[in-house]
Amino acid sequence: MSKALFDLMARLADNKYYLGRRYAEWCSSAPTLEASVAAAAMAQDELGHARALYPLLRTLAPKAGVALDAEIEPETRTQFFTMMALSEPFVGWPDFVAANLLIDSALTQIFVAAQTSSYEPLEGRSRKVLQEERAHNVYGAGWAKRLAREGGAIKAAIEAALRRIWDETLCWFGPEGLDTQSDPLASTGTLDATPDELRARWLAEVGPTLVAAGLALPLRQNATTGAWELTESLPWDRWDADRYRLRALTPTTGSAS
């Protein structure tokens, strides 16, 4: 369990850190002055969350069998457990909006599931994170609807940006098929949900926004149960369980690299 907890905190801190960096890159180049100000504020939030999480790695490392070396500090880390989608700068504003709507809200779901965590440092930090993330979720949904209303090439661009990170965001919650007993985080009370439950919660959050905006993503709402469901299988054959990210497709063959 100690290693599973360390890995959770590392990937939360790393993805928060890189999401903050990506937001910061748009502080002076967003399409409006108000958007630039919002990008700066959200960047500050995400980097602040990361700074609150990284010190926990030093505390958790000995019990997890991880060396107390340069990899514990963000300034000296050489390998980050970051989604592939955050590894490079956003190409355009639709990529910013897509990450704000999907990735940001996916990270938030972990903190929702940690509000009663058996790991007290995570429980305490979750409350503050969730207070700040409410504005992020509203902002991402608002911009996604705004771009979709433009129609034509602009709507196509936001749909493409969302689709590029859709699979990886869903896979990021963790492997399919784990029950409470077999999931090391749920079984110890670190989180109050399994990966499949986290995915379902996230779909219930973003699904209504996507459908209301008329954005074509592979999901639907079950007419009988009301639950949101995927209409395409996730690419688990490309899942890198060690780094918690999807491996890229090679451009020539389409096989996993």
List pLDDT tens digits, range 69-124.
777 777 778 788 999 999 999 999 999 999 999 999 999 999 999 999 999 999 99
Express each pLDDT in 213-248 by its tens digit: 999 999 999 999 999 999 999 999 999 998 899 988
> Does residue 251 surpass a pLDDT of 60?
no
* pLDDT confidence of residue 253: 43
> Does residue 195 surpass a pLDDT of 60?
yes
Question: What burial letters (b/e) apply to 229-245, b meaning 16+ CB within 10 Å?
Answer: eeeeebeeebbeeebbb
In angstroms, the CA 107 to CA 101 distance is: 11
Name the CATH superfamily for 2-246: Ferritin, core subunit, four-helix bundle (1.20.1260.10)
CB 229 within 8 A of CB 221: yes
Q: In percent, how much of the chain has pLDDT > 70?
A: 96
Structural tokens at position 250: 């090679």
In angstroms, the CA 41 to CA 44 distance is: 5
CB 10 within 8 A of CB 17: no
| Mean pLDDT over the full length of the chain | 92
Of the pLDDT bands very low, low, confident and very high (cuts 50, 70, 90), residue 250 is low
Query: Which of residues 141 and 64 earns the better pLDDT score?
Result: 141
* pLDDT confidence of residue 65: 86
- The closest of 134, 135, 5 to 62, measured between CA atoms, is 5
> Does residue 140 surpass a pLDDT of 60?
yes
Strand partners, 219: 230
The arithmetic mean of pLDDT across residues 30-55, rounded, is: 95
* pLDDT confidence of residue 79: 81
Of the pLDDT bands very low, low, confident and very high (cuts 50, 70, 90), residue 1 is low
* pLDDT confidence of residue 198: 98
The arithmetic mean of pLDDT across residues 179-201, rounded, is: 96
Structural tokens at position 117: 């965590």
Of the pLDDT bands very low, low, confident and very high (cuts 50, 70, 90), residue 175 is very high
Residue 215 CB coordination number (10 Å): 20
> Does residue 156 surpass a pLDDT of 90?
yes
Of the pLDDT bands very low, low, confident and very high (cuts 50, 70, 90), residue 257 is very low
CB 221 within 8 A of CB 207: yes
> Does residue 57 surpass a pLDDT of 70?
yes
> Does residue 48 surpass a pLDDT of 50?
yes
